[in-house]
A = this chain, B = another copy of it.
């Protein structure tokens, strides 16, 4: 159980102190994100670190559930302009989601708080975020992750539900026999 505590202690943090997040920590988050797997190792991810208070304010107003006072945000984007465009277009959401989960786990491990706000595939939100971040055509914002020092605490948890697990075929209950 302890071996997986780094996973259980990641919680969505929506209240932050005013303290800025050091660039050295942001770099650690980006290193973690880029350790994720990606389809055919194409690494379609791109990252926009947002520090500018005015752009942060515009993003807060554009997104639902995004009225967070975090001093920093990172938008994880997918670049589907690559030579292997078909693969990127098919898998960039999954690749960038794996990278985002790594980023969130790293934030938690480093004592930061973070929350993932969905953007893709909602066209209205994609358009708004793309405008604020001046994304070129073919670079799509998957999400916006707010990051800061946490001003709230939440207990570690899993939402494990064995009713959602099946053995060999859907509907056949999975009953672990050696626990």
Contacts and interface: CB of A to CB of B under 8 A. Distances in A.
Interface of A: 1, 3-4, 6-8, 10, 12, 22-24, 26-28, 30-32, 34-37, 39, 41, 43, 45-52, 55, 77, 90-91, 93-94, 97-98, 100-102, 104-106, 109-110, 116, 118, 120-122, 133-136, 139, 142-143, 157-162, 164-171, 174, 176-179
Nearest to A163: B46
A134 B169 contact: yes
A133 B166 CA distance: 10
A7 B27 contact: no
A31 B4 contact: yes
B93 A47 contact: no
25 contacts: A1-B28, A4-B109, A7-B102, A7-B105, A7-B106, A23-B176, A23-B177, A23-B178, A24-B176, A30-B162, A35-B159, A39-B118, A43-B159, A43-B164, A48-B166, A49-B168, A51-B168, A55-B168, A94-B97, A97-B98, A97-B101, A98-B100, A101-B101, A133-B170, A136-B170
A121 B86 CA distance: 11
A164 B79 CA distance: 10
A171 B130 CA distance: 13
A179 B90 contact: no
Nearest to A56: B168
A158 B32 contact: yes
Contacts of A49: 165-168, 174
A45 B159 CA distance: 11
A45 B90 CA distance: 20
Contacts of A109: 3-4, 6
